Amino acid sequence: MLLLTAAAGLLLASVASAQTELFHGRGQIIVLNGSSFVGVVPSRDRIGCLDDQGILTLDNCAEFSLAETSPRTFSTVSGNCTFQNKNMPANSDSAYGKDTHAWSCLAENQLVAPYENYYTVSGFKFPFICNGNLNCYYDIKGAPSLNNTRVPVWQFYWGDAQGGITPGHLQTLWLWVPVNSTKTGKS
Ligand SMILES: *[C@@H]1O[C@H](CO)[C@@H](O)[C@H](O)[C@H]1NC(C)=O
Ligand SMILES: *[C@@H]1O[C@H](CO)[C@@H](O)[C@H](O)[C@H]1NC(C)=O
Ligand SMILES: *[C@@H]1O[C@H](CO)[C@@H](O)[C@H](O)[C@H]1NC(C)=O
Ligand SMILES: *[C@@H]1O[C@H](CO)[C@@H](O)[C@H](O)[C@H]1NC(C)=O
């Protein structure tokens, strides 16, 4: 029994480091439709990817740079990425998120404390992107259906008054897909 547990622990540890080792450098952020990081299947549940301003699109996948030291933040050719830009639309349909703003990567974004720190979790099957205190889900109004549709992405907030995703919205995950290119522009 003890031996079995130790073996299982070793297996988990090696899966874990596979995900965290991928979470470096440059990559694309793919948005997956899903409310469970256990059940989501990237090849089946992809609904789009984030563009260089941090907005969800069908296929306009930007290249994001991830800071190697804490706070591990993202940037693109367009600027620093943050949920703190108050010029971005608020998630007005959400009980707990109505005063929060969509993610953006813009030249005007100066990163200030409290910093967002992005990470992945060792036990995940894929490198899903979390921030803060295990905030691993993101809230969107709906999936983009056309190439030129741009959909704002909010942090997912819940509580007693709204236990699940904002009514009518989709709960999503962000998948990190490393790219090798050394350029900083769109792929
Ligand atoms: C998202 O997933 C749900 C549950 O599996 C499904 O009913 C819905 O059609 C999906 N929506 C999109 C846009 O993929
Ligand atoms: C990103 O934020 C940092 C502060 O953390 C700032 O020094 C830098 O100029 C910002 N980058 C851009 C492109 O605005
Ligand atoms: C989106 O763009 C791709 C490639 O540029 C094209 O093949 C596809 O037909 C476009 N889809 C729509 C819905 O416009
Ligand atoms: C990306 O880098 C890995 C490891 O350095 C290499 O094996 C792989 O061939 C590269 N892929 C591309 C598309 O360049």
The CB of 180 under 6 Å from ligand 3? The reply is: no
If you average pLDDT over residues 26-30, what whole number do you get? 97
- Give the residue, out of 33, 165, 169, with the most ligand 1 atoms within 8 A of its beta carbon, to mutate for a pocket test: 33
Report how far ligand 1's centroid is from the alpha carbon of 170 (Å): 8
If you average pLDDT over residues 23-28, what whole number do you get? 96
At residue 118, the 3 state secondary structure works out as strand
Atom of ligand 3 minimally distant from the CA of 146? 13
The answer to whether the CB of 154 falls within 8 A of the CB of 91 is: yes
Atom of ligand 1 minimally distant from the CA of 45? 14
If you average pLDDT over residues 173-181, what whole number do you get? 89
Q: Name beta bridge partners: 46.
A: 32
Q: Output the six-digit token pair for 137.
A: 């889900």
**Residue 159: predicted pLDDT:** 80
Could you say which ligand is closest to the alpha carbon of residue 84? 2
Q: Output the six-digit token pair for 171.
A: 């709960």
The answer to whether the CB of 118 falls within 8 A of the CB of 103 is: no
Report how far ligand 2's centroid is from the alpha carbon of 80 (Å): 6
Q: What kind and span of H or E run contains 50?
A: strand 46-50
Q: Output the six-digit token pair for 62.
A: 């930007």
- Cα–Cα distance, 68 to 31 (Å, whole number): 22
- Cα–Cα distance, 130 to 119 (Å, whole number): 5
**Residue 165: predicted pLDDT:** 87
Report how far ligand 2's centroid is from the alpha carbon of 93 (Å): 31
CB neighbour burial string for 128-155, b if at least 16 within 10 angstroms, e if fewer: bbbbeeeebbbbbbebbeeeeeebbbbb
pTM for this entry: 0.84
- Cα–Cα distance, 84 to 144 (Å, whole number): 23
